[in-house]
Amino acid sequence: MDDESERLEIDARLRATFAPPDDVVDRVVRQSLAGTDRKRRSTFVWVFAAAAIAMLIGTVTLRQRGQGQRQPAASSITIVGDGSMLVVERNDGRRWLIGPRQDRLTQGNYVILISQ
């Protein structure tokens, strides 16, 4: 199946679509170089500036709101030492016992396997 002619036809149509006529290109270039759209450009600049200021205000507002919601953790910790053992207790009831590392003895540890 030879579809080369169909490809060339599609390519020609796409090129015609994306390549405007010369008079249109000349008109667009002349208008852009002439600067006749000063009012339109100034309106665009003002709208862009207003949008930038609104985004800046929104960002600052969200950042301040996020900082206002943060509250420092108001929990007190009690630490009691008894020899080489420390007991750390919080107001919410959590407790940690901290002591020296105990080396486990290997004597007396065993595993019993029962086959069924």
The residue ranges of every structural domain in the chain are 4-69, 74-100
pLDDT at 41: 72
Q: Which residue has the higher pLDDT, 37 or 7?
A: 7
Q: What pLDDT, in 10s, does the model give residues 54-107?
A: 999 988 888 887 666 555 556 688 888 877 888 888 888 888 888 877 666 556
Distance separating alpha carbons of residues 81 and 96, to the nearest angstrom: 12
Q: What pLDDT, in 10s, does the model give residues 19-63?
A: 878 888 888 888 777 765 666 777 888 888 999 999 999 888 888
Distance separating alpha carbons of residues 37 and 70, to the nearest angstrom: 50
pLDDT at 26: 86
**108: region left, alpha or beta (phi > 0 left; psi from -120 to 50 alpha):** left
Residue count of the chain: 116
pTM above 0.85, yes or no: no
Residue with tokens 């007396």: 108
